[in-house]
Amino acid sequence: MKKRGQVAVEYIMIVAISLFIILPGIYFFRNFAFESNDRVLQSRVADISGQLLSLGKEMYYYGPPSKSVKILEMPDQVNRMYVLTSADNTEYYLVFEILTTSGPESVLFEADYPIEPLETAAACDVACQGICDCFPERYYSRGPKNFAVEASSSCDTADLCVLIGEVSPELG
């Protein structure tokens, strides 16, 4: 009888030690996977904005009616996309609001030239300091997008600007 009690205690000790080693390992691996996913998402958004802003700079210096179309793959975790302009129209940012594991996060990318959306969303519920022009949801929804980037002289904020718009064909 005493021997069975000793075996049970040893068995419980082995299980406890195993759980003591395995559970923290699972926790750290889970956190690493989530942080890694967030870094990949931020990198993809930075790549998308870099391509759009680089192409925009090129079109800005060529001047109107320069236009180019770039196919970009939008990730699933983009919650909102908008252009932020300072109140005095001297600073322009392309902003992506992404959903990370710690909640929504806004990532800003500065443009050296005036930028505006080709069309704006009907409702733009972004609380921002300055002027915000939200892109329609189809611009940043998941999947491949054909972004048109064109120089224009019909702008709201400057004499010459770059318009960014999504021109994918409608399906259905």
pLDDT tens for each residue of 28-80:
888 888 888 889 999 999 999 999 999 999 999 998 889 999 999 999 999 88
Token reading at 145: 């997008």
Total structural domains within the chain:
1
Choice between 120 and 81, residue whose per-residue pLDDT is larger: 81
Instruction: Residue count of the chain, please give it.
Output: 172
Answer whether residue 25 is part of any domain.
no
For residue 87, pLDDT over 90 is answered with no
Answer whether residue 5 is part of any domain.
no
Answer whether residue 56 is part of any domain.
yes
For residue 84, pLDDT over 90 is answered with no
Query: For the chain, what percent of residues have pLDDT higher than 70?
Result: 89
Answer whether residue 172 is part of any domain.
no
Answer whether residue 49 is part of any domain.
yes
Answer whether residue 1 is part of any domain.
no
Answer whether residue 117 is part of any domain.
yes
Token reading at 125: 């519920």
pLDDT digits (tens, 9 = 90+) for 96-105: 999 998 888 9
Answer whether residue 16 is part of any domain.
no
Nearest to 72 by CA among 97, 93, 54, 99: 54
Domain that holds residue 76: 33-166
**H or E element, residue 83:** strand 78-85
Distances (CA, A) of 58 to 65, 134, 172: 12, 23, 34
